[in-house]
Structure 1
Amino acid sequence: MKKHIFLFAIVCITQFIYSQNDNIPEKKTQKGFGKIDFLSIKMPETTIPNESNMGFTGIHYNLMMNDWSYAGLGIYGAVTGERGGFFTLGINAGIKKYFTNNFYLDTGFHFGGGGGKSAPDGGGAFILPHFNLGYNFKDLSINSGWSYVNFFDGGEIKGHQLNVGLEIPLDFSYADYDVAENDYSFDGLQKSNWNVNSKKSSLMLHLNNLEIKGDDTNKNVQNFGRATIRLAGFEIASYLSKNWFTFVKFDGAYDGIKAGYMDVFLGGGYHLPFNKNRTNILAKFGVGAGGGGGVDSQGGFLIYPDISIEQKIFDAFFISVNKGYVMSPNSHFYTSSYGLGLKYYVERNGIISDENSFSEGIFKGIEVITKQDLYFNAKRDGEPTEDMHQISVQINFDLNKNLYIAGQTSFANFGNAGAYAEGIVGLGMQTNPFINDKTSFFAQVLGGAAGGGDISTGEGFIVKPSAGFNYQLNNTLSLRTAAGYVKAKGGDLSSPFINLGIKYNLSFLKMN
């Protein structure tokens, strides 16, 4: 009898292990590429006599939809000329077709919204089609060709120009979103195609301060004294090795000066851990664009040297304190930077690591939402009140099946407010799917920095609660719509809004 019980137990355990392995989610690969491009835009003569060209540089990420077409998102910022603080956000779509093993044609367009620095951008909506010839060097490719820009909603910026771009392949692994929050044993994952080296990434939400420096002849000192610009934003880093990493960083002003200042940086750094990996020192250097809110950053090109120290508080969460500089290379805009952040590290999409040992893995959900907002009767500081539209991108990271943290950036594209932009973060809740497992409701509260475009946001802090629903179209795409209210602290903006968009969702393997 004991032998029979023992054999029965062995069979059950074997079947359980087999079932665990059999149920491991499929590892899928999404092909994509990152792109940095530059174009020199001829500016119309308006408030600045004999205005020089505006150097416009963009950071993009595109997904390959099949072997020849792509779609994605991009953000542009001014880096030369006289319009520092001019930023836009938009969507990309195009066709990339090889006619030899290495040469290809790339034709497509970018549609978005934005503006800044009193530029003749109208409502902010613009198109940017291109036709390029490219060459693939395997690990990177370059392309160049014709492009055309037109701020068509009442703007005066339009014209033809050459563009040049650099692309690198950035594929990623993922699983379907419906397995999010499911966990699996290490033994089961070892027998799956997730048995590869993990990749390290981090996400940080931070508050930064820019203390304006310079002598009494400095134009920004004359305009603001030695005021401190208070910023809120986020930073995403991806590790190339144990110590070296790349990062992208976004910040917007919410206090200290008139609303409208923002900056965007792309860079790299070195990570030095000690104290049994509980304490880190990081040295970073970034380049990017910044301006707005009355700040004179000339063409907009900025550099960002920084050093920070981090201390683990629990699990994979760290508190970060940083000190550095945000400045133009000639010190025309010169600030001392310091701040505080909450950082989260993750080992993803693999179970092999030189730094950590794991016992299990859990799939975490990520949602990327691209949408169009409509603010009803958006109050202005000087111009007549009218509706305002904006293009918006929101990223949600699931904390569990029903709770998520969110980051969102938005830029005006219709409604005579081209320079208006938002950078906000917050929390949201969503229901489990129902009605054939395709519909879910959500509610969220976001807050942060906003300003520009004569919209009355005071020094820039807004709160933006909303609620709505998602309808699933397939494994990765859903329709999303919401209604809510936006309120500015210290300004007259107090408007109901609605939006409609597309949500792209997936999950990634996080090891514990």
Structure 2
Amino acid sequence: MLFKISKKALMVCFTLSVYFLYAQTEIPQQETQIGFGQLDFLSIKMPDNEKNMDFTGVHYNLKPNKWSYVGVGIYGAVGGIRGGFFTLGINAGIQHKITDKLFIDAGFHFGGGGGAAAPDGGGAFILPHFNLGYDFKHFSTTAGYSYVDFFDGGTINRSQFNVAIQIPLSFKTTSFKERENSFSFDALNNSSWDTPANKISLLVHLNNLSVTKGSYKDKTIRLAGFELNSYLNKNIFFFVKADGAYHGIRAGYMDVLLGGGYHLSMNKNRTNILAKFGVGAGGGGGVDTKGGFLIYPDISIEQKLFDNIYASINKGYLMSPDSHFKASTLGFGLKYYIDKDGVSGNDKYKSGKFKGLETIIKQDLYLSAARDNNGGFTQNMHQISLQINFFFNKYIYGSGQTSFANFGDAGAYAEGIVGLGVQSNTFFNNTTSIFGQLLGGAAGGGGISTGQGLIVKPSMGLNYKLTNKLNIRGGLGYVKARGGKLSSTYLNFGVSYNFSFLSVK
């Protein structure tokens, strides 16, 4: 009897061993998502003989095939008198080769935003372009005609010359359903993931601007935001950073900065020092930055807490080039480092896990959004939103979202919020999932009654699968401003692009 039990136990162990060995060899195939980043510039002729507003944009576009692209972009004023004017929108276009180097780039941008008391109406605008480009192999340049029209009651509608630089920025992916699957280094080392890893980091922080010159002199502006760093090598990185005010002044201030830096590690990689320099756009909320162009020198010190998570403190300056506006900065945050997309070139890796990421473009409708002016009347407001979800495990995600009004006579309104959410397994033949989330952060502008800018937004909704990477998404929620009259039910509908990437350690 004992022999029979032992024999059965051995058979079970053998079966499980074969199963786990098989599972380790079934590594998801690596796919390359072709894409490119773009910086563009146009100088918009303003109504009523106002000085031109210099407008610069940062975009990221995916290429579903060789000749078309889709993506998102954010614009900010960097010249003129409208510092604090920002927009968010979606891109679509085609690129057609004339020769090996010359190509035509024709595209369309639709979005929302405004600010700085500009004649932006509800904020909705279109920006088509027709450009001629030249491919320099590692980057491309384009130039040509563009037209901008804030058509929802705005009076900014002009044609102008535009220029742009495009830089290839592709990344490795696999199916979203593979998230949280783990594999050994040896298994990954003999697969399509045997490529060099790329390092990135994400910082979520609170930042304080102590104004030393200009509007709000001797006051402290409380900001919340994020910073994304992408490493070119062990020490050199470039970054994008965005912050919004939530306390200290009336709501509406925002800045978006790009730059580069140098990373120095010590204490067995438990302590980091980062020196950074960035440029970008900022203003709003009564902060007078003139045209909006800002420079940002900064130094940060980071200390490892556990795994890839570090505590960060930074000290720097944020100012206009002529020091019309000047502030010292002091920030505190948490940073998460990721080595991704490959295992070769470093013998420190022991295993890898696929992590899920969702990028969502959606349109929100705030029902009866309260206003500050004219006795606090209410009116529906629409906004375009970009949300990014990073999955900590199979179900729980951290989220960041930025939104800009595009209909409803609130063109200067914007949000920058973060939070947590939970998403279910799929059901109904693997087509549908449900989610719930709680986000909060900075918001203001456009006459919307948000007090000093702090809002909270709980919501829930459904995802429905279209393809392996695309879902349609609908939600219902509630938004409440602390210290303001905004207290509204809201609806949204949009599209999500989801995938998994390899995180190694």
- TM-score bracket, normalised by the shorter chain, equals over 0.9
Residue 120 of structure 1 pairs with residue 119 of structure 2: yes
Q: Which residue of 2 aligns with 1:335?
A: 327
Q: Which residue of 2 aligns with 1:375?
A: 366
Residue 37 of structure 1 pairs with residue 30 of structure 2: no
Residue 261 of structure 1 pairs with residue 253 of structure 2: yes
The one of 21, 25, 29 equivalent to 1:26 is 29
The one of 468, 479, 484 equivalent to 1:475 is 468
- Secondary structure (helix, strand or coil) at the match of 1:213 reads strand
One-letter amino acid matched to 1:90: G
- Secondary structure (helix, strand or coil) at the match of 2:462 reads strand
Q: Which residue of 1 aligns with 2:95?
A: 96
CA contact (8 A) 1:306 1:322 kept: yes
Q: Which residue of 1 aligns with 2:440?
A: 447
One-letter amino acid matched to 1:75: I
Residue segments in structure 2 that go unaligned for 5+ positions in a row: 1-6
One-letter amino acid matched to 1:396: N
1:92-118 CA-partner distances (Å, limit 9, x unpaired)? 000001110000000010000000000
Rounded to whole Å, the distance in 2 between the matches of 1:498 and 1:193 is 42
Rounded to whole Å, the distance in 1 between the matches of 2:372 and 2:185 is 58
Rounded to whole Å, the distance in 2 between the matches of 1:435 and 1:12 is 31
TM-score (norm 1): 0.94
One-letter amino acid matched to 2:310: F
Rounded to whole Å, the distance in 2 between the matches of 1:420 and 1:18 is 55
Equivalent pairs, count: 497
CA contact (8 A) 1:62 1:92 kept: yes
Residue 501 of structure 1 pairs with residue 501 of structure 2: no
Rounded to whole Å, the distance in 2 between the matches of 1:225 and 1:24 is 58
CA contact (8 A) 1:129 1:149 kept: yes
Residue 297 of structure 1 pairs with residue 293 of structure 2: no
1:319-338 CA-partner distances (Å, limit 9, x unpaired)? 00000001101100100001
Alignment of 1:39-438 (within 5 A): 39-45=42-48, 50-214=49-213, 219-220=214-215, 224-354=216-346, 357-383=348-374, 384-438=377-431
TM-score (norm 2): 0.96
Rounded to whole Å, the distance in 2 between the matches of 1:332 and 1:188 is 58
Write out the 4+ residue segments of structure 1 that deviate beyond 4 Å after TM superposition.
8-18
Rounded to whole Å, the distance in 2 between the matches of 1:358 and 1:243 is 19
1:373-401 CA-partner distances (Å, limit 9, x unpaired)? 00001111104421000000000000111
One-letter amino acid matched to 2:363: Q
Residues 485 and 468 (structure 1), Cα distance of their counterparts in 2 relative to 1, 3 Å cut: same
1:422-481 CA-partner distances (Å, limit 9, x unpaired)? 000000011111111111111100000000000000000000000111111111000111
Rounded to whole Å, the distance in 2 between the matches of 1:163 and 1:26 is 40
- Secondary structure (helix, strand or coil) at the match of 1:181 reads coil
- Secondary structure (helix, strand or coil) at the match of 1:19 reads helix
Residues 212 and 17 (structure 1), Cα distance of their counterparts in 2 relative to 1, 3 Å cut: same
Seq. identity, %: 62
RMSD: 1.9
Q: Which residue of 2 aligns with 1:490?
A: 483
One-letter amino acid matched to 1:43: M
Rounded to whole Å, the distance in 2 between the matches of 1:177 and 1:121 is 39
